[in-house]
Amino acid sequence: MKLKVLGAGSWGTSLAVHFASAGHDVTLWCRREELAKQLRAERCNPQFLPGVELPAMLGVTADLEDATGADAVLVVVPSHGYREVVRRYLQCLPPAKKDEGEPLTFVSATKGVETETLARMSEVTAEEAAAAQQAVRFAVLSGPNFAVELTAGSPTSAVVASEDEALATTLREQLSTPSYRLYSSTDVVGVELGAASKNVIAVAAGIVTGLELGHNALAALMTRGLHEITRLVLAYGGQPRTLSGLAGMGDLVLTCTGPLSRNRSLGVQLAAGKKLDEISAGTPMVAEGVRNSLAIARLAERKQVEMPITEQMVEILYRDKSPRHAVRDLMARELRPEAEL
């Protein structure tokens, strides 16, 4: 396939390297020209994916016009920048392409929800495509994936979901490799909300780890976290089985326990007494759980869905609540049957 990867952070770079190494025609787009020049000159991305060599066949550009003409466009940017990138990309398309030919395929590898609009990336894509009068097909790629492990060739799995089942199947067949096994789904809502919500639970898991509350607490947090994510997904029309799959339990386990998790690392630092501004200033990486906590809490409020862990993360991240007090309040909640949704 001819693939364009928009976003040269760790995950975007990893996907570009992996698919280029697998024989696809791949161009990686960087937001900043200076980063594109560095990647072309040094054939690596030391800031976001150190120690990984870029294949000779991988193209790198900072010009969105160079990223047009793709079989599929993978958008791999933070959720707060997704709309702008998609809009700018659509503006680069020749006018004749807006009403003719095959619809453009967008594949989101972004795990988040817009804080201001509460739109998922599928909804953002649809809105921007309509404004540009461009026909598009949408899929979302998600799962328990660390960038460095994918580029190292470690066995990795993910799910690609689209309401267009034929598209999901095609992408599954064409993008799977010997070390990257893809499964298909039609539950876009479940995959997107599962991916965004688990980031918030992962921050909580980092706090539990940082406070040294033990494995009992961590296991309980992950289990109840999955429970409240399921409530949210069901309220928005998603499928419960999705949450027992790669975009649900799989991603939750990885992000809550893996030392490479940005969201878990953020929680560990919060438990150590660091403030959010201090933590954010020390890394170029984006921990999606920070913005996602607000967005997921607001989505839950819309549907009157109870998400107590998410609510406590908002209190910690935005209202300076003590992590220990948040744990105390969670443990003091009203007792109830476990199966109650």
pLDDT value of residue 97:
44
Average pLDDT over residues 183-203: 97
Burial class (CB in 10 A: 0-12, 13-18, 19+), 166: exposed
Total residues belonging to the chain: 341
pLDDT, tens digit (0-9, with 9 covering 90-100), for 277-320: 888 876 666 678 899 999 999 999 999 999 999 999 999 999 99
246 has a pLDDT exceeding 60? yes
pLDDT value of residue 341:
75
For the domain 189-331, what is the CATH superfamily, name and number? N-(1-d-carboxylethyl)-l-norvaline Dehydrogenase; domain 2 (1.10.1040.10)
Per-domain residue ranges for the chain? Answer: 2-186, 189-331
233 has a pLDDT exceeding 60? yes
Among residues of the chain, what percentage have pLDDT more than 90?
89
Average pLDDT over residues 50-61: 96
Residues 6+ apart with CB under 8 A from 313: 200, 203, 204, 289, 293, 326
Average pLDDT over residues 135-140: 96
Contact 108, 121 (CB under 8 A): yes
pLDDT, tens digit (0-9, with 9 covering 90-100), for 69-123: 899 999 999 999 999 999 999 999 876 444 566 899 999 999 999 999 999 999 9
- Phi, psi of 138, deg, nearest 5: -120, 140
CB atoms within 10 A of CB 104: 23
pLDDT value of residue 286:
62
Burial class (CB in 10 A: 0-12, 13-18, 19+), 4: buried
Q: Which residues are catalytic?
A: 198
pLDDT value of residue 98:
47
pLDDT value of residue 111:
94
Which class does domain 2-186 fall in?
alpha beta
160 pLDDT tier (thresholds 50, 70, 90): very high
Q: What is the residue-averaged pLDDT of the chain? A: 94
pLDDT value of residue 68:
82
Asked whether this chain's domains 2-186 and 189-331 adopt the same fold, the reply is: no
143 has a pLDDT exceeding 50? yes
